[in-house]
Amino acid sequence: MRLALPIFLIVLVAVAQSPPGAARKSEQNPPVKVNVVNVCTPDPDAQQQLMGALARLPKSPSFISDYEISRGVATLEEGQSAKYVRLLREFKSDSSFATVQYSLSFDPASTIETLVFRGRDVKDLLALSIEDKLSTSVSKPAAVVSSDTPASRLRVERAGKTTLGLARCTDVDQAPYEPIFAQASATLAAYRHVMRLRAMLATDISWLNSGAHTEPSAARGTTVNPAKAAKSSAPTRETPH
């Protein structure tokens, strides 16, 4: 029984010597949870959800008359700059999707097309994006818009759930994912047509093809909605995990 007292006193001393603000700091700085998205070989469940998200996209979309076209120059991490053009259209109110934005980014190394759909109910779907990436040395912007370049990346963002993704990866057998890539490519090709990109962006594509990086022009057309337009950003460039 005498041994219990010293041990108890040691425990009390250890507790007393703890920093007064330790518990408070722990509450203010909770552990950070990092989710790594497997974009090269998603599991069967992720594949089904990616296919399901693509299947929900409007096949014959109806847009309101308002639209927005913008262009500009963005600085890349490598110190170089990329020119880009965007076309934003809003679906009619009976659609489960709010907007679709087409972006074409052009820099000395890569030409990237990105199609981003945003859900009307963010609890259901935040955004779905389809991207293709080509070498600028062999693919100029005008040629990219006029052709059906296959998709190389798909991303689905959901509220309160893990982001889903699929991307072309070298040295990986991606045969099981070809139906998903094919569906994403078909969607990208269809929206190049329904959004009338060659006609709507003719002047801006010519600006992209020009060698000099000039100042961004003011948005042309009618702004869809200033609050929604503010959410749009320059094309995102990601590296497959």
Residues 6+ apart with CB under 8 A from 116: 100, 101, 103, 127, 128, 129
Residue 45 belongs to some domain of the structure = yes
Q: How confident is the model at residue 131 (pLDDT cuts 50, 70, 90)?
A: very high
Task: Report pLDDT for 201.
Answer: 93
CB atoms within 10 A of CB 229: 17
How many domains does the chain fold into? Answer: 1
For residue 102, which of 168, 217, 199, 182 has the smallest C-alpha distance? Answer: 199
When mean pLDDT is compared across 20-29, 134-143, 164-173, the lowest value belongs to: 20-29
Task: Report pLDDT for 141.
Answer: 82
When mean pLDDT is compared across 18-27, 80-89, 141-150, the lowest value belongs to: 18-27
Q: Rounded to an integer, what distance in angstroms lies between the CA atom of residue 85 and that of residue 87?
A: 7
How does the average pLDDT of the chain come out, rounded? 79
Residues 6+ apart with CB under 8 A from 57: 97, 117, 128, 187
Residue 8 belongs to some domain of the structure = no
Residue 112 belongs to some domain of the structure = yes
Lookup: tokens for 58: 């409007």
Residue 19 belongs to some domain of the structure = no
Contact criterion met (CB below 8 Å) for 209 and 140: yes
* Model confidence pLDDT, tens digit, residues 18-42: 555 555 555 566 665 545 668 999 9
Q: Is the pTM of this model over 0.75?
A: no
> Residue 211 pLDDT > 70, yes or no?
no
Q: Which domain holds residue 219?
A: 35-229
Contact criterion met (CB below 8 Å) for 50 and 180: yes
Q: What is the mean pLDDT of residues 67-73?
A: 95
Task: Report pLDDT for 209.
Answer: 83
